Amino acid sequence: MNKEISEASISHFTLQELITMAGGESRPGLMGECIAASTDSHMEAFRFPCRINAFIIGVGTEGESSGLVNLQEFTIRKDTMFIFAPNSILQAQSVEGMKAHVMAVSCDFMKRINIDTKHLLPLLLQFASRPSLEISREESQALRNFISLIEQETKGPESEFSAEIIGGLIAGTVYKIGEILQRYLTEHPEVENPSHNRANEYFRQFTQLLSEHYKQERSVGFYARQLCITPKYLTTLIKRISGRSGSEWIDNFVILEAKTLLKYSTMSVQEIAYYLNFPNQSFFGSYFKRNTGMSPSQYKAKQ
């Protein structure tokens, strides 16, 4: 089946396309890997579900916007920090004069920045289910200052030091977010703190592999083999870090994709079943009902 047709209802935006949508011009090299803006919201462009292949970090400064990230509701208003992971399914539902300071960074550029993920990853994992978070006025201003500096640097001509300057500013922004999340955890001790150990790196690699292969591979054994560890060990560490089993993570990825296609696409249940690599519609229907309590047709009829 033609994948371009099957995913036609869920748009994919590259960072270059996002730059164009924000009113900029296509930019080569480093300047095409990062965008920072402190202008009116362009959320109208995301009225329909889409994926953006970039990290998006920002803070609201005025008005309000609500929407869905991976079918989970979020609200952005003044002094609200938001973080969207690459290829999250984003849809804006309401935009009321919303403005924000926002930066979007390509996955490749983020990988090249020397950030200590050992300390940051556990914090980010704890907030994976919270795409937006209200922060203090001082914290909001600090993030806005960082993003404004990045915007200033990306608008100027690229020099031999641009990568280091912009990379340093982005790293500073990410560390500031870590500081904000750490403060939140201090004030909210009820939020569980996962272990800080090597298992976090395995979990990060597992989720990365899962995002790439979930349409074809639904076996914990497959991901364990990719990581060169046993399925039992992978299952144990995933459960310890996230509170959910490896199978639950796999099912969540598959069901999220299935729900999105059932809700937004014109694909039939059979087409979705084949697209997600099920042998037939019956297998897909049983899998979907086991995880959601309803059949694909019932879910589609509810939307």
Nearest one of 53, 74, 181 to 131, comparing CA atoms: 74
pLDDT digits (tens, 9 = 90+) for 7-47: 445 667 677 776 666 555 555 555 667 788 776 545 555 66
Interatomic CA distance for residues 109 and 128, integer angstroms:
21
Q: What tens digit of pLDDT does each residue of 247-297 get?
A: 999 998 899 889 988 988 889 999 999 999 999 999 999 999 999 999 999
* Per-residue model confidence (pLDDT) at position 291: 92
Cα distances (Å, whole numbers) of residue 19 to 24, 25, 128, 170, 178: 5, 7, 26, 17, 26
For 180, list phi and psi in degrees, rounded to 5: -65, -45
The residue-averaged pLDDT of 55-76 equals: 86
Domains and CATH numbers, the chain: 3-187 (2.60.120.280), 199-302 (1.10.10.60)
Which residue is listed with tokens 């591979």?
Answer: 217
Instruction: Quick: pLDDT tens for 173-224.
Output: 999 999 998 888 888 765 655 444 567 778 878 888 888 899 999 999 999 9
Answer left, alpha or beta for residue 71, where phi above 0 means left and psi between -120 and 50 means alpha.
Answer: left
DSSP symbol at 40 = B
pLDDT in the model for residue 18: 66
pTM for the full predicted model: 0.63
Query: In which band, very low, low, confident or very high, does the pLDDT at 119 lie, cut at 50, 70 and 90?
Result: low
| Exposed/middle/buried for residue 160 (C-beta within 10 Å: 0-12, 13-18, 19+) | exposed
Confidence of residue 240 (pLDDT cuts 50, 70, 90): confident
CB 96 within 8 A of CB 65: yes
Helix (H) or strand (E) holding 99: strand 89-105
pLDDT of residue 2: 37
